Amino acid sequence: MKKHKILKTVGIIVACIVLFMVIINIIPPAQNVENNPFVVGKGELPLIAAHRGGGDNNPENTMLAFREAVNTIGVDIIESDLYLTKDGYLVYNHDSYIDETCNINGDLSLDEVEELCENKENRHYIEDMTLAELEQYNFGYYFEDENGERIYKDVTDLEGTGLQIATVDKLFEEFYEANPDLMFIVEIKNSGDRGYEACRILSETLDQYPGYRDRIVVGTFHDEIEVELKTKYPDLMRGAPTGTAAKFIITQFLGVNIFDNSDFACLQIPTSYDLGIELQLDKKTIIKRAHRRNIAVQYWTINDADEMRELIELGCDCIMTDNPELLRSVLEEYK
């Protein structure tokens, strides 16, 4: 009799747990953002995000790359990183220094430059230079075309070439009238006071181009900059910081997503993550649960055609790639 009572109690507890799990997965969760242009409609193909402007097709983070990506390839999103110059301009560059993307070290080969930059004191940092100083250099200097030719190496008259470092305001100005539907993924790389200043300048620049204000998502790896964006610029959509993204993914895997209280607009993730064991993130369940919260799922950085096809068939919202030309051709197969 006692054993029967115990089994009955255990059964009730298990049934309650199962019922609880069913209920929390049926209840529609709150929407993270009301209107999210980064979420594609059901059955629609994912958006093309030119990672660094499409660094495989053109010199990364240059106006030349951005123009080709938008006007020739027809990308939906420009993705890049932002740094603040010494005199308060926001420029596009992946690293905090410019040695590996321009000819600031003269005619050294890229291998020689990389060796030089192993000593951080040899690097030329964006925060130590004015925009006028940065604009002297050819940011297509080390770019190689599909034949391995450095086709922009000898360009010295940079005016009008699009090979100079690009600024946020010039990029918005370039496309605002002709491409009002263009979207942007940016990451503020500066931390601390310079990161706060970068947030302010980005917001004030968007005031001049208000149509882009709800077509940009801003990310950061710095906790204090995330707080700054959330508190002072709540109208700007944010990408999920690493910790927040990890928490969201874990709650989705465990089926307890109702306990996730995040408010980001875009989940930007690789297809897998190494935690000692490889965790696969290219899952339809992650996309489905994110969509219930009106969160866009954006995968990076995908440069293989077969991997692109797998993500297209999963129904993701965006594929970030260094080769938007390749992704465009793959998407054409589905049309």
Which pLDDT score is estimated for 17? 46
80 Rama sector, left if φ>0, alpha if ψ -120 to 50, beta otherwise: beta
Which pLDDT score is estimated for 24? 46
Structure tokens at 32: 């993270």
Is 92 in contact with 80 (CB distance < 8 Å)?
yes
Please choose, from the candidates 227, 168, 171, 242, the residue with its C-alpha nearest in 3D space to the C-alpha of residue 195.
227
CB-facing half-sphere around the CA of 243: CA atoms within 13 A: 6
Which pLDDT score is estimated for 275? 65
C-beta atoms surrounding 155 within 10 Å: 13
Which pLDDT score is estimated for 303? 98
**CA end-to-end distance (rounded Å), the chain:** 67
Contacts of 80 (CB under 8 A, 6+ apart): 51, 52, 53, 61, 92, 94, 185, 186, 187
Reading the chain (335 residues) residue by residue, the pLDDT tens digits are: 555 566 555 555 555 444 444 444 555 557 678 899 999 998 899 999 999 999 999 999 999 999 999 999 999 999 999 999 999 999 999 999 999 999 999 999 999 999 999 999 999 999 999 999 999 999 999 999 999 999 999 999 999 999 999 999 999 999 999 999 999 999 999 999 999 999 999 999 999 999 999 999 999 999 999 999 999 999 999 999 888 888 888 887 776 666 677 889 999 999 998 767 788 999 999 999 999 999 999 999 999 999 999 999 999 999 999 999 999 999 999 97
Which pLDDT score is estimated for 252? 75
C-beta atoms surrounding 103 within 10 Å: 21
Which pLDDT score is estimated for 249? 85
Please choose, from the candidates 82, 30, 38, 85, the residue with its C-alpha nearest in 3D space to the C-alpha of residue 225.
82
Domains of the chain, each with CATH number or no CATH: 36-96+165-334 (3.20.20.190)
Which pLDDT score is estimated for 29? 58
Which pLDDT score is estimated for 244? 84
Which pLDDT score is estimated for 243? 83
pTM (2 decimals)?
A: 0.90
DSSP string, 287-302: HHHHHHTT-EEEE---
Sign of the CA dihedral running 225, 228, 233, 238 = positive
Question: Which residue intervals of the chain are DSSP H helices?
Answer: 2-26, 63-67, 110-116, 131-134, 168-175, 192-208, 223-232, 242-254, 284-292, 305-314, 324-334
CA torsion, ordered 227, 228, 234, 238, to nearest 10 deg:
-70
Which pLDDT score is estimated for 256? 61
Phi, psi for residue 272 in degrees, rounded to 5: -150, 160
Which pLDDT score is estimated for 131? 98
